[in-house]
Amino acid sequence: MQYKRILLKLSGEALMGEQKFGIDTNVVVRYSREIKSLIDKGVEVAIVIGGGNIYRGIEASETGIDRVQGDYMGMLATVINSMALQSGLEKQNVITRLLTALEIKQVAEPFIKRRAVRHLEKGRVVIFGAGTGNPYFTTDTAAALRATEIGADVILKGTRVDGIYDSDPEKNPNAVKFDNVSFNDAISKKLNVMDMTAFTLCQENNIPIIVFNMNEEGNLLRIAAGEKVGTLVKG
């Protein structure tokens, strides 16, 4: 495997499947099988999941809810998604640990960097919930931060499209796909790979990002093996 330790970033919306909100258990099962294929090959896997399928703090602020309060509600939504994926993985006989930035000791361990790394070294999937534990930061930033802390080789950002385009491929049939792009080009072309805080963290710590279609079977394993899948963003 080309990548020994990866951080997989999934959006909360990805768990909806064809539903308008909530969690599609069929998607959870499919993703769990994909992740298990990496574990079977000895790849160390950490995961960060968003909460947009349940709640978005930034959108809540537009309806009159305090932004800080809304962001904490969004963090709790990521914990719900994390627990769903944890359950799916355990049904595939994959040992997991859920670590959260907010202390919820009844369902998860508190995030401690050394503990997280030790779990990975033992072959356990580590799921990071509750974002960074701070308002005003996205789960993209949480993914970049955790990847830096655990020394991940790469961030794999699973989406529903097969890479980064110069415009939205779901709206523009003539959109052009990039196979490789530098951090500087992604910024100058406003490609919206991640929010700027997350992007800067990856650039400063030289952590490459691969944006790929999570819904295509086998993509995770192909990327870990070094095949060119999706779009690679690096220095």
Structure tokens at 12: 């909360």
Q: Are 47 and 85 in contact (CB under 8 A)?
A: yes
Single-letter amino acid, residue 94: V
Q: What is the mean pLDDT of the chain?
A: 93
Instruction: Please report how the helices 113-121 and 139-150 are oriented relative to each other, as an axis angle in degrees rounded to 10.
Output: 70
Q: Check whether 152 has a pLDDT greater than 70.
A: yes
Q: Are 74 and 13 in contact (CB under 8 A)?
A: no
Per-residue pLDDT band at 227 (split at 50, 70, 90): very high
pLDDT, tens digit, 9 for 90 and up, residues 122-148: 999 999 999 999 999 999 999 999 999
- Average pLDDT, integer, range 78-92: 97
What is the reported pTM? 0.94
Single-letter amino acid, residue 4: K
What is the rounded distance in angstroms from the CA atom of residue 14 to the CA atom of residue 85?
A: 12
The predicted structure's pLDDT at residue 61:
62
The domain spans of the chain are 5-234
DSSP 3-state of 170: coil
CATH code linked to domain 5-234:
3.40.1160.10
